[in-house]
Structure 1
Amino acid sequence: MDSIIFDLDGTLWDSSKTVLTAWNEILRKKDGINELTVEDLQGTMGLQMHEIGKKLFPSLDDQAREQLLQECGDLENVYLENSGGILYDSVEETLEALSEKYKLYIVSNCQEGYIETFYKYHQLEKYFLDFENPGRTGLSKGENIKLVIERNSLSNPVYVGDTEGDLKAARYAGIPFVYATYGFGKVEDYDFAITSFAELKQLF
């Protein structure tokens, strides 16, 4: 193994409370649209933005939904840059240890600018060599994983995530999947499992 590619939400941090505050600030100004709960947001983890929009705002047409998601995403990035999310236990010390042995990357289903807020607020960019997301490429998570692998000439990576979508993306890219059981999803098929982020130091 030469590298580890990480999912972000439910794997490295939980940003749902900060995101919820931002989204509900937008939604309160919209007629006929209810505010969201943390459970609403957590139920969309692992989905791409257009899938999230259809699940949360099924009554809107595609254009209105896209515009609303753009507004929510823009304000979300502002809030996250100022407030961050909740890092899971031992994330930084584990990343520091892993980065001494492996190349580290992030591939997340998020809008452009989201991973950058994670880097900026928590000062963790120094541990990662590259990242990708559909907000920048328009590709699926599996395609973005393959893009990172090809772009960085990785020969034997693994993907760490917490949802069924993460599993499918890893399988699409043809690499092993490490299931973060402490995250948001339920996954039955995986190559390895961890119950805390720090366990990656023992696993690898």
Structure 2
Amino acid sequence: MTFPFSALVFDLDGTLIDSAPDMTRVLNRMLGEFGRPAVTEAQVRGMVGDGSANLVRQAFAATGAPLEGEALQPALSRYLDLYFEDDQPSTLYPGVAETLAHLADRGVHLGLCTNKPERISRKLLGLLGLAPLFGAVAGGDTLPVKKPDGRHLSWVLERLGEDPASPRAAMVGDNGNDVKAARAAGIPVVAMSYGYPRMPVADLGADLVLDHFADLPAALESVASRR
């Protein structure tokens, strides 16, 4: 049976990987170098989703006087370098590797649309053995725009050879930026309940909310049948 979607675009943090422990570790190394106290993983989970600059900005605001504009750049650059140098791979959520491989085997083109910087995203995909599955990757610094701007998502679809207006494309994410980007691009969106939504996941406005990544193929077939 032909799968109803020919292209799927995924968020990374909170959707495919639980990266909050890694970001906490790297942030705290950077904060220590700048004379700031550490942040907790719980704090970081509430900061994820809007890109690295906003993450670093929030970390400084949470640990003393905030940094803005040019004053933020040295800390941001150091955080990105430390993160890229970090060789401890993030933890895949259960069922992610097997489900992505299953979708690829069914002929689905897979893309990644994340607000994490591209070089770090690509390195993580490589460390986790997922890189060969993805035909297009867009980080938060790949384009002049990023999620929730729908052009970020549309760019990935175009690189996958998919018309952004195609009824056979969908987004899979975990927070409001993913839902807004999908709506702006005009495609359906599935939200995973276990990520970093920063609001009740039921209120995100996704077409469907899932608790388990392994349920995604069947859920997408259900979404397609209702269209």
TM-score normalised by L of structure 2: 0.83
1:49 to partner: Cα distance: 2.8
Residue 131 (str. 1) matches residue 147 (str. 2): no
Which amino acid in structure 2 is aligned with residue 110 of structure 1? K
Residue from 98, 102, 106 that aligns with 2:103: 98
* Alpha-carbon separation, structure 1, partners of 2:74 and 2:41: 22
Structure 1 residue aligned with 2:224 = none
Partner-residue secondary structure (3-state), 1:178: strand
Residue 193 (str. 1) matches residue 205 (str. 2): no
Structure 2 residue aligned with 1:172 = 184
Structure 1 residue aligned with 2:30 = 26
Structure 2 residue aligned with 1:152 = 160
Question: Cα deviation per residue 1:143-185 (whole Å; 9 max; x = unaligned)?
Answer: 2101112233313210000111111111111111101012121
* Alpha-carbon separation, structure 2, partners of 1:45 and 1:25: 17
* Alpha-carbon separation, structure 2, partners of 1:138 and 1:40: 28
Residue from 111, 115, 118 that aligns with 1:112: 118
1:78 to partner: Cα distance: 1.4
* Maintained 8 Å contact 2:171/2:189: yes
Whichever of the two has the greater Rg, that structure is 2
* Alpha-carbon separation, structure 2, partners of 1:116 and 1:30: 28
What are the ranges of 5 or more consecutive residues in structure 1 without an aligned counterpart?
none
* Maintained 8 Å contact 1:157/1:175: yes
Which amino acid in structure 1 is aligned with residue 110 of structure 2? L
Partner-residue secondary structure (3-state), 1:183: coil
1:96 to partner: Cα distance: 0.8
Structure 2 residue aligned with 1:163 = 175
What do you get for the CA RMSD once the two structures are aligned? 1.5
Aligned sequence identity (%): 29
Which amino acid in structure 1 is aligned with residue 72 of structure 2? R
* Alpha-carbon separation, structure 1, partners of 2:141 and 2:116: 6
* Alpha-carbon separation, structure 2, partners of 1:183 and 1:19: 14
Stretch moving more, 49-58 or 82-91: 49-58
* Maintained 8 Å contact 2:191/2:206: yes
* Alpha-carbon separation, structure 2, partners of 1:175 and 1:47: 21
Residue 14 (str. 1) matches residue 18 (str. 2): yes
TM-score normalised by L of structure 1: 0.91
Residue 73 (str. 1) matches residue 74 (str. 2): no
Which amino acid in structure 1 is aligned with residue 46 of structure 2? G
* Maintained 8 Å contact 1:45/1:163: no
Stretches of 4+ aligned residues off by more than 3 angstroms? none
* Alpha-carbon separation, structure 1, partners of 2:11 and 2:73: 24
* Alpha-carbon separation, structure 1, partners of 2:33 and 2:127: 28
What are the ranges of 5 or more consecutive residues in structure 2 without an aligned counterpart?
221-227
Partner-residue secondary structure (3-state), 1:28: helix
Question: Cα deviation per residue 1:32-75 (whole Å; 9 max; x = unaligned)?
Answer: x3322112211122212333233332421311212211211111
